[in-house]
């Protein structure tokens, strides 16, 4: 069969993995697809780093524009990342009629609607499996495998760096900074790791998945985002005492006329399958009306796992090219004119169970004062623990609540925080537990 020519832009961690799979698994790919996939260009300014790959002469070049402008290139693979030059190159590739593969979740989350519109108008495919969940085929699942399902909800662990950090603190008692350095050394973290630990990378991924699942426009701006930097070993220990684990979750739920889409640390029961997802693994549970509950898990970051997902896109697009063209699957899983303007509920409207930790002075009446304020705000307490873990004269009191509205919880915390006997900055962690008492 006629070869398909590929141009790779960006040869960092994932780009190197893509080049390696294309060159080292050339035979396997031909056996599976029947299509010779030819790596015509790899564009990167860094010629010094030893990537452990010997490129054929003329393949490794400086200039990314050669890749998007050469008529011989069929598929452009954007592995630069970021929202600047990457966007310009993708737009130029689309304008030149090329198929595009990207793993760029930051770009898709912020400008995906416009990019998809341009690609659809130009009649080219834009594939992005590796933008969410590394090797885990969640995009393909939503766009294709679950096509006959109303998707009710998804709960995911979508950032390998955060999951690695929380796992290391929980299982080995490692300090936060050491765990983060290890995640960086393993190639999981973003160039700017604040995107990971502040929950922003997870929100990028959730923005893409929520749109795919519910047939709505990508809407990063309305996603509530809270990272893991405030989580303390004390909270992790309390979580254990209550039979929970703390994970950074991406949650979306379909309420019909509106959706929930939020990223924050949450306590989940030890017996929840997501509790057992450790280290850099990602996982997601999807609930659909026909398939019911689905669980996917796999490496969410790292060179070859992410490259594995990029290769699946490359092969999809190459097969489309050789079997009669593009547009077989709509880019966002729905016909563009059927994408709905569903609003994301503000966080104040969310109903959840809560873990609240106060630092208080250990004297009579303190508990009653706190309980009184919670009661005045229609918040019902499920259980209370005071443990003798005194730090700087304060003791922690921990409360779990029944279902409560976020707006009321926030109001109560403000009032409780103003009490003289209560220390600053109470800790609030939402609990995702389907079996907790209402």
Active site positions, annotated: 205
Closest approach of ligand HSE to the CB of residue 280, in Å: 7
Angstrom distance (rounded) from CA 227 to CA 196: 8
| CA proximity to 129, closest of 316, 323, 295 | 316
**CA atoms within 13 A of residue 329's CA, in its CB half-sphere:** 21
Between 134 and 288, name the residue whose CB sits nearer to ligand HSE.
134
Angstrom distance (rounded) from CA 32 to CA 120: 28
Between 159 and 210, name the residue whose CB sits nearer to ligand HSE.
159
Closest approach of ligand HSE to the CB of residue 232, in Å: 21
Name the phi and psi angles at 9, rounded to 5: -115, 115
Closest approach of ligand HSE to the CB of residue 155, in Å: 16
Between 283 and 314, name the residue whose CB sits nearer to ligand HSE.
283
Percentages helix, strand, coil for the chain, rounded to the nearest 5?
40, 25, 35
Site residues, ligand HSE (CB under 6 A): 134, 159-161, 188-190, 196, 201, 300-301
Place of tokens 């893991």: 228
Closest approach of ligand HSE to the CB of residue 163, in Å: 8
Contact of 366 with 436, CB cutoff 8 Å: no
Task: Tell how strand 259-269 and strand 281-288 pair up.
Answer: unpaired
Closest approach of ligand HSE to the CB of residue 271, in Å: 25
Between 218 and 301, name the residue whose CB sits nearer to ligand HSE.
301
Residues with Cβ within 8 Å of 186's Cβ and at least 6 positions away in sequence, in order, are 164, 280, 302
Between 160 and 298, name the residue whose CB sits nearer to ligand HSE.
160
């Amino acid at each position: 069969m006629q070869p398909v020519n590929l141009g790779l832009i960006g040869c960092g961690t994932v780009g190197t993995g893509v080049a390696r799979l294309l060159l080292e698994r050339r035979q396997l790919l031909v056996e599976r697809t029947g299509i010779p996939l030819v790596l015509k260009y790899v564009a990167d300014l860094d010629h010094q780093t030893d990537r452990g790959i010997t490129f054929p002469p003329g393949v490794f070049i400086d200039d990314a524009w050669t890749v998007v402008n050469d008529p011989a290139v069929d598929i452009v693979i954007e592995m630069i990342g970021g929202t600047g030059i990457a966007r310009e190159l993708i737009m130029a590739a689309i304008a030149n009629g090329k198929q595009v593969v990207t793993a760029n979740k930051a770009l898709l989350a912020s400008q995906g609607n416009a990019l998809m519109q341009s690609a659809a108008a130009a009649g080219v495919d834009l594939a992005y499996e590796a933008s969410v969940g590394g090797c885990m085929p969640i995009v393909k699942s939503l766009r294709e495998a679950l096509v006959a399902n109303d998707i009710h909800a998804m709960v995911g662990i979508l950032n390998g760096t955060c999951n690695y950090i929380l796992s290391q603190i929980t299982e080995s008692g490692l300090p936060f900074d050491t765990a983060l350095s290890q995640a960086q050394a393993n190639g999981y973290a973003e160039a700017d790791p604040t995107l990971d630990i502040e929950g922003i990378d997870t929100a990028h991924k959730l923005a893409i998945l929520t749109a795919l699942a519910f047939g709505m426009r990508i809407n990063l701006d309305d996603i509530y985002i809270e990272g893991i930097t405030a989580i303390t070993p004390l909270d992790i220990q309390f979580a254990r005492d209550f039979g929970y684990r703390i994970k950074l979750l991406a949650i979306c739920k379909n309420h019909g006329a509106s959706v929930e889409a939020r990223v924050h640390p949450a306590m989940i029961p030890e017996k929840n399958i997501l509790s057992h997802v450790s280290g850099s693994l990602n996982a997601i549970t999807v609930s659909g009306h026909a398939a019911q509950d689905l669980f996917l898990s796999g490496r969410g970051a790292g060179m070859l796992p992410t490259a594995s997902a990029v290769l699946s896109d490359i092969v999809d697009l190459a097969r489309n090219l050789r079997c009669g063209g593009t547009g077989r699957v709509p880019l966002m899983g729905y016909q563009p004119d059927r994408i709905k303007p569903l609003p994301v509920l503000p966080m104040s409207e969310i109903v959840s169970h809560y873990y609240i930790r106060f630092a208080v002075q250990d004297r009579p009446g303190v508990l009653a004062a706190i309980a009184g304020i919670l009661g005045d705000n229609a918040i019902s307490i499920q259980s209370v623990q005071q443990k003798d873990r005194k730090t700087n004269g304060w003791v922690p009191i921990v409360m779990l609540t029944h279902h409560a509205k976020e707006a009321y919880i926030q109001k109560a915390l403000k009032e409780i925080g103003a009490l003289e006997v209560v220390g600053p900055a109470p800790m609030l962690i939402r609990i995702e537990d389907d079996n907790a008492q209402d």
